[in-house]
């Protein structure tokens, strides 16, 4: 099975004295679903920023789709979908304007898939972004990212503002695309509840340090991933 | 790709452009005062688009976020060039206005052969000063510890203010000869002659050399892979 992400001893140090990430190592194969978990300030967003090349690592090795994200790997970015709470769309645009702007960048963009996703996520093309709720804006971004048929989806805390149905729908769609075309998923979240049904692997971080990287079922012995994660974190 | 961005900019900023057109038409009927107003309006106009184009790392509904732009499948080098072209579009009114001055008010194109080089360099320096200060403001809001923030603000003030002052001196040196000699005696003419210690050519060539370092510095800060 080919590796999509290889991280070895990953480090990100800020202002010399403060380690945001230190010694993070993991390997993610094509078609796998990795849930990155940890308390606030654990370094989840920083890790995803490093994967996307938004920050330059200060130590360790990192390969994402066989490329070093520190280099300007635009060809790899064409195959990566990125979702983040940090991504925002101008409020004056409507849904169609955003998707029209977005689809122009991706040769792999699938318009039929976009229409299916618009129906699944119940988003209107005509509604102005400024009038949408935070959760609806995330749904719009999800549609744009998934319609570009990415091989790797990197999602940073995207589920926090989705409602129960939206979150469930999002995870189901990810699983469908994972099975249908082998999409790899990295999802950083503060909400592990219900992830045991979707995630193949768990990366647990605490204050920038890796606590655990394992198959989900190793941690989730009693079918309660959230409980097992909380237990692990409380023991620290 | 660049047309895709520019088309979007035209649609998003049409209100700005329409307002500028109205001010331009109104100023044309106001004589010399109108031209002075136009000069400053055109000079300030690009700062309206600065935040919208550069994107923001924090949540706002008024502009595209930087993370979205950087995640797009475009080489970051090309993306940064696109960003600069988008910003330069907003400098067009000022550029055209300033480029016409030697034919109109100054009425001496031969004397100001160096004028267009200085104009080109000045606009690029102003633009990169905008990019730099926007990135510094972000840094202050996100990373700089509380005790250092005041110094960080002072640094912005010194760099941006200093840049404006030095370029202003360059322009004074370039233009003062004729304006001061031809015009009536003004109270600051002695001061202007003191400022002539550094030739305008030195200032603008120096500014061009500064740009050779400033542009890559801003590019690396805006998208870390460069």
Q: Is B141 on the interface with A (CB under 8 A)?
A: no
pLDDT of A213 > 70? The answer is: yes
Residue B58: the pLDDT is: 56
Under the banding of pLDDT at 50, 70 and 90, the label for residue A24 is: very high
Contact: B224, A54; criterion CB under 8 Å: yes
Average the pLDDT over each of A169-173, B46-50, B195-199 and give the range with the smallest value: B195-199
Reading the block at residue B58, the tokens are 């924090």
Percent of chain A with pLDDT over 90: 46
CB nearest to B73's CB, from A54, A70, A77: A77
pLDDT of B156 > 70? The answer is: yes
Residue A116: the pLDDT is: 93
pLDDT of B90 > 90? The answer is: yes
* SS percent in chain A: helix, strand, coil, step 5: 35, 30, 35
Q: How far is B61 from chain A (nearest CA, A)?
A: 5
Cα(A93)–Cα(A78) distance, rounded to whole angstroms?
Answer: 23
Tell me the mean pLDDT in the region B25-39.
Answer: 87
Q: How far is A221 from chain B (nearest CA, A)?
A: 37
Strand partners, A36: A188, A203
Q: What is the mean pLDDT of chain A?
A: 88
Under the banding of pLDDT at 50, 70 and 90, the label for residue B85 is: very high
Longest C-alpha distance within chain A, in Å?
Answer: 50
Q: Where are the alpha helices (DSSP H) in chain A?
A: 44-52, 74-77, 95-103, 111-120, 134-147, 164-181, 216-219, 225-235
Residue B198: the pLDDT is: 74
> Does residue B143 or residue B68 have the better pLDDT?
B68
Residue A208: the pLDDT is: 86
Contact: A78, B73; criterion CB under 8 Å: yes
CB nearest to A105's CB, from B12, B62, B72: B72
Residue A183: the pLDDT is: 94
Cα(B125)–Cα(A66) distance, rounded to whole angstroms?
Answer: 39
Q: Is A105 on the interface with B (CB under 8 A)?
A: yes
Contact: B73, A106; criterion CB under 8 Å: yes
Residue B224: the pLDDT is: 74
Q: Which of residues 190-209 of B touch A (CB under 8 A)?
A: none
Tell me the mean pLDDT in the region A73-90.
Answer: 84
CB nearest to B12's CB, from A54, A77, A90: A90
Indicate which of A14, A16, A70, A87 best probes the interface with B, i.e. most B CBs within 10 Å of its own CB: A87
Query: B220: which chain A residues are within 8 Å (Cβ-Cβ)?
Result: none
Per-residue HEC secondary structure of B72-136 comes to CCCCHHHHHHHHHHHHHHHHHHHHHHHHHHHHCCCCCCCCCCCHHHHHHHHHHHHHHHHHHHHHH
CB nearest to B225's CB, from A70, A90, A91: A70
Domains of chain A listed by start with CATH number: 3-235 (3.40.50.300)
Under the banding of pLDDT at 50, 70 and 90, the label for residue B79 is: very high
pLDDT of B219 > 60? The answer is: yes
| Residue ranges per structural domain of chain B | 1-92, 106-226
Q: Which pTM value belongs to this model?
A: 0.85
CB nearest to B61's CB, from A14, A70, A91: A91
């Amino acid at each position: 099975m080919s590796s999509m992400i290889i991280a070895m001893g990953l480090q990100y140090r800020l202002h010399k004295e403060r380690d945001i990430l230190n010694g993070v190592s993991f390997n993610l194969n094509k078609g796998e679903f990795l849930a990155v978990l940890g308390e606030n300030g654990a370094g989840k967003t920083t890790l995803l920023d490093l994967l996307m090349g938004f920050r330059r690592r200060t130590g360790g090795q990192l390969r994402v789709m066989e490329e070093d994200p520190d280099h300007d790997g635009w060809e790899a970015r064409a195959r990566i979908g990125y979702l983040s709470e940090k991504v925002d769309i101008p409020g004056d645009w409507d849904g169609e304007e955003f998707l029209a702007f977005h689809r122009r960048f991706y040769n792999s963009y699938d318009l039929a898939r976009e229409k299916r996703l618009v129906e699944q996520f119940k988003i209107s093309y005509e509604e102005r972004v400024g009038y949408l709720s935070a959760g609806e804006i995330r749904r719009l971004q999800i549609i744009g990212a998934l319609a570009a048929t990415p091989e790797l989806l990197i999602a940073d805390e995207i589920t926090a503002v989705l409602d129960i149905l939206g979150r469930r729908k999002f995870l189901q769609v990810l699983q469908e695309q994972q099975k249908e075309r082998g999409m790899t998923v990295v999802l950083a979240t503060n909400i592990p509840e219900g992830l045991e049904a979707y995630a193949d692997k768990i990366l647990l971080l605490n204050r920038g340090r890796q606590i655990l990287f394992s198959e989900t079922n190793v941690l989730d012995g009693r079918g309660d991933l959230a409980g097992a994660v909380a237990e692990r974190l409380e023991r620290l | 790709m660049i047309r895709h961005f520019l088309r979007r900019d035209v649609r998003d900023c049409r209100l700005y452009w329409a307002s500028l057109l109205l001010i331009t038409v109104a100023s044309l009927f106001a004589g010399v005062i109108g031209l002075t107003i136009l000069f400053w309006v055109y000079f300030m106009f690009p700062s309206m688009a600065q935040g919208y184009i550069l994107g923001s790392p924090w949540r706002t509904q008024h502009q595209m976020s930087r993370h979205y732009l950087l995640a797009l499948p475009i080489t970051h080098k090309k993306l940064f060039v696109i960003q600069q072209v988008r910003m330069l579009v907003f400098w067009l009114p000022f550029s055209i206005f300033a480029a016409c001055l030697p034919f109109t008010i100054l009425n001496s194109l031969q004397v100001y052969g160096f004028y267009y080089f200085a104009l080109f360099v000045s606009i690029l320096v102003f633009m990169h000063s905008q990019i730099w200060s926007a990135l510094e403001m972000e840094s202050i809001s996100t990373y700089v510890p509380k005790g250092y923030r005041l110094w960080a603000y002072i640094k912005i003030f010194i760099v941006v203010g200093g840049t404006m002052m030095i370029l202003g001196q360059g322009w004074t040196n370039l233009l003062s000869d004729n304006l001061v000699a031809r015009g009536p005696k003004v109270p600051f003419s002695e001061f202007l002659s003191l400022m002539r210690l550094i030739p305008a050519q030195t200032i603008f060539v120096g500014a061009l050399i500064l740009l050779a370092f400033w542009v890559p510095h801003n590019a690396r800060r805006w998208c870390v892979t460069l």
